[in-house]
């Protein structure tokens, strides 16, 4: 298969005066693992593709490992479109397994490495996986959790051998050799990802062979202007759509390098990694940017290698954007994407930026804000966000009704509520299932959270609805910085702060707003790092809904 022409000529990206990078036509026969082949064709075989701890892997070494794993899967009897579950932390083994499965036309199914054995067993069963790649130390628990299920499963272990499993690295070494990519169609299934599950059980999202390439043209080229000189570092894991783009798709497409971290990332650990590996682009989420700003080591940290920061997964408050800019002199580009769309479809750029907003549509995507009847709303009005673009998922695995409800013609219904300002910037106004009524008026939790985050003592805030004496009340959970004194006096000050800053007429009748303030040390989060709204209601004393 040819890869010529799939890496477009770069121009001045993200500049309103320059045209966006063109999206070349993907060949009918395309396999997503060709991201690696293109780098060898460009003479980067000896260039480091991955840094992970003390390990480094070149593009040549990585392609050989990918081919070895693919050949090994074929020897084990794994065939096209059969699922290969991957329950691994970030590292060369994850990348090898992921691209190696795609190489033969099989379908890798990554899951969060921090899921327990029972969850992994459920994913194996629900996906109908024929093979699973797991850490050797998790083998006994996963096998026990499967309760002797009859489905045939080949287990491959990373980090050691076991009597009833295949040793991953031994398999790769034993099947060394070249392997042409399977002649998959660009619209064939390539891999699955799972939604974060913030409003229910995670859904298996099926993506096609061309989707990764599309996100690279859109995000790596048109938003970040990435080149082979870039080194990426992401605190989000490869098993998530955001992390997959940040640490695999984008750097491999550009011919750059990726820094991968293992274990749960801490602010101090991230700062140490940045100092050691000197990335040029840093990807994270608002919660983590806030955590770094609260880390005592941040004032002496060297982030001079970084040229751009990017944020996604949840809205980045303007207050955090300004604090980060003041602390490090670095710009954070905030954007919005989803597992279903694979990466960001709306983002700020260096020349089109408005802190607090999610920016403007990324080239290659169309966005539409509509009312509940599906009619477009006027600028400044809040409505439901629909999106379409070439990286859109094909369907939810074995959930036809959910799939049908998620599409409106050619558009994906995101479940997010947005407004568009006069300059075309998109402002997140909450999830359709997060909005609630108080005193007959709709309340956006995000709007209250934004105002609270602007208070100098507030580190993080979340707003939910709770029932008190049969009435719905606005409850704010607030985390404050060191040296602050949580209590009724501060709670009253925060209510007054909000009251003075709300200009919307519908809040004028609320004497105290929010009604309740609950001080907390931390917030419940989903596996994807987002606020877990149902658990927040429980923490605030309200019933989950």
Radius of gyration of the chain (CA): 24
| 75 sits in which H/E element | helix 59-75
The answer for residues whose C-beta is within 8 angstroms of residue 58's C-beta and 6 or more apart is 45, 46, 47, 48, 49
pLDDT at 403 over 50: yes
pLDDT band of 437, cuts 50, 70, 90: low
Higher-pLDDT residue of 485 and 22 is 485
For the chain, give every domain's residue range: 27-41+50-205, 434-539
Q: What pLDDT shows up at residue 439?
A: 56
Residues 310-345 as b/e (b if ≥16 CB within 10 A, e otherwise) read bbbbbbbbbbbbebbeeebeebbbbbbbbbbbbbbb
Q: Is 177 left (phi over 0), alpha (psi -120 to 50) or beta?
A: left
Q: What pLDDT shows up at residue 6?
A: 59
- Rounded to 5 degrees, what are φ and ψ at 196? -70, -20
Domain 434-539 has CATH 3.30.300.30: yes
Rounded to an integer, the average pLDDT of 369-394 is 96
Q: Which residues pair with 498 in a beta bridge?
A: none
pLDDT at 464 over 80: yes
DSSP state of 506: G
Residue 248 near residue 199 (C-beta atoms within 8 A): no
**What is the distance between the alpha carbons of residues 417 and 224, in angstroms, rounded to a whole number?**
26
pLDDT at 199 over 50: no
Cis bond before residue 514 (omega within 30° of 0): yes
Residue 518 near residue 460 (C-beta atoms within 8 A): no
What is the topology classification, in CATH, of domain 27-41+50-205? Rossmann fold (3.40.50)
pLDDT band of 440, cuts 50, 70, 90: low
DSSP 91-120: SHHHHHHHHHHHHTT-EEEE--TTS-HHHH
pLDDT band of 10, cuts 50, 70, 90: very low
pLDDT at 404 over 90: yes
pLDDT at 148 over 50: yes
Kindly state the tokens that stand for 457. 């003592």
**What is the distance between the alpha carbons of residues 471 and 515, in angstroms, rounded to a whole number?**
11
Higher-pLDDT residue of 301 and 525 is 301
DSSP state of 207: E
**What is the distance between the alpha carbons of residues 191 and 181, in angstroms, rounded to a whole number?**
15
Number of helical (H) and strand (E) elements in the chain, helices listed first: 16, 27
pLDDT at 540 over 50: yes
pLDDT at 266 over 70: yes
Of the ranges 7-16, 78-87, 366-375, 497-506, which one carries the lowest mean pLDDT score?
Answer: 7-16
CA distances from 395 to 69, 205, 212, 405, 406 (A): 28, 6, 16, 11, 9
Instruction: Report pTM.
Output: 0.84
Choose among 243, 232, 187: nearest CA to 214.
Answer: 187
Residue 387 near residue 341 (C-beta atoms within 8 A): yes
Q: Which residues pair with 135 in a beta bridge?
A: 158
Residue whose structure tokens are 């108080």: 438
H helices of 249-334, where?
250-254, 267-277, 286-293, 318-328
Q: What percent of the chain has pLDDT over 90?
A: 73
pLDDT at 361 over 50: yes
pLDDT at 14 over 50: no
CA distances from 308 to 20, 50, 311 (A): 19, 20, 10
- Rounded to 5 degrees, what are φ and ψ at 365? -125, 150
Q: Which residues pair with 420 in a beta bridge?
A: 426
Rounded to an integer, the average pLDDT of 304-314 is 95
**38 SS3 class:** helix
Kindly state the tokens that stand for 514. 């929010």
pLDDT at 231 over 50: yes
**512 SS3 class:** coil
Output the average pLDDT for the chain.
89
**What is the distance between the alpha carbons of residues 229 and 18, in angstroms, rounded to a whole number?**
22
**What is the distance between the alpha carbons of residues 122 and 108, in angstroms, rounded to a whole number?**
16
Higher-pLDDT residue of 288 and 255 is 255
């Amino acid at each position: 298969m040819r890869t010529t022409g799939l890496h477009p000529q770069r121009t001045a990206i993200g500049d309103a005066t320059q045209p966006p990078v063109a999206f070349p036509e993907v060949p009918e026969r395309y396999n997503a693992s060709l991201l690696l082949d293109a780098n060898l064709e460009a003479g980067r075989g000896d260039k480091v593709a991955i840094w992970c701890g003390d390990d480094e892997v070149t593009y040549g070494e990585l392609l050989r490992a990918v081919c070895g794993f693919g050949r090994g899967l074929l020897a084990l009897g794994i065939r096209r479109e059969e699922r290969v579950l991957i329950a691994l932390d970030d590292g060369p083994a994850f990348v090898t397994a992921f691209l190696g499965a795609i190489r033969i036309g099989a379908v890798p199914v990554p899951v969060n490495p921090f899921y327990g054995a029972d969850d992994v067993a459920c994913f194996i069963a629900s996906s109908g996986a024929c093979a699973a790649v797991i850490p050797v130390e998790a083998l006994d628990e996963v096998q026990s959790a499967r309760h002797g299920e009859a489905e045939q499963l080949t287990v491959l272990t990373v980090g050691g051998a076991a009597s009833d499993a295949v040793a991953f690295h031994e398999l790769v070494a034993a099947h060394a050799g070249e392997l042409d990519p399977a002649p998959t169609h660009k619209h064939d299934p390539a891999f699955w990802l799972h939604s974060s599950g913030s409003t229910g059980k995670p859904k298996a999202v099926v993506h096609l062979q061309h989707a990764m390439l599309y996100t690279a043209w859109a995000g790596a080229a048109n938003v970040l202007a990435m080149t082979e000189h870039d080194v990426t570092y992401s605190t989000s894991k490869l098993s998530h759509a955001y992390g997959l783009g940040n640490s695999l798709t984008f750097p491999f497409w550009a011919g750059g390098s990726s820094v991968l971290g293992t274990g749960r990332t801490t602010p101090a650990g991230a700062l140490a990694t940045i100092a050691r590996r000197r990335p040029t682009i840093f990807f994270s989420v608002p919660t983590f940017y806030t955590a770094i700003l609260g880390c005592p080591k941040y004032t002496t940290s060297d982030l001079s290698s970084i040229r751009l920061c990017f944020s996604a997964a949840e809205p980045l408050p303007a207050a955090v954007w300004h604090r980060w800019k003041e602390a490090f002199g670095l710009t954070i580009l905030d954007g919005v994407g989803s597992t279903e769309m694979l990466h960001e479809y709306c983002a700020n750029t260096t020349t089109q930026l408005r802190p607090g907003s999610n920016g403007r549509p990324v080239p290659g995507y169309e966005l539409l804000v509509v009312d509940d009847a599906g009619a477009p709303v006027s600028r400044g009005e809040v409505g439901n966000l629909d999106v379409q673009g070439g990286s859109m998922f094909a369907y939810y695995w074995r959930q036809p009704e959910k799939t049908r409800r998620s599409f409106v013609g050619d558009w994906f219904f995101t479940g997010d509520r947005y407004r568009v300002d006069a300059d075309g910037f998109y402002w997140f106004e909450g999830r359709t299932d997060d909005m609630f009524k108080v005193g007959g008026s709709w309340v956006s939790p995000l709007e209250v959270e934004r105002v609270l985050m602007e208070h100098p003592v507030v580190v993080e805030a979340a707003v939910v609805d709770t029932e008190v004496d049969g009435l719905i009340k606005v409850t704010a959970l607030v985390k404050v910085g060191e040296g602050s004194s949580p209590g009724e006096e501060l709670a009253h000050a925060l209510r007054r702060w909000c009251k003075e800053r709300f200009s919307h007429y519908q809040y004028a009748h609320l004497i105290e707003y929010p009604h309740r303030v609950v001080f907390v040390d931390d917030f419940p989060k989903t596996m994807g790092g987002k606020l877990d709204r149902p658990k927040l209601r429980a923490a605030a004393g309200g019933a989950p809904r």
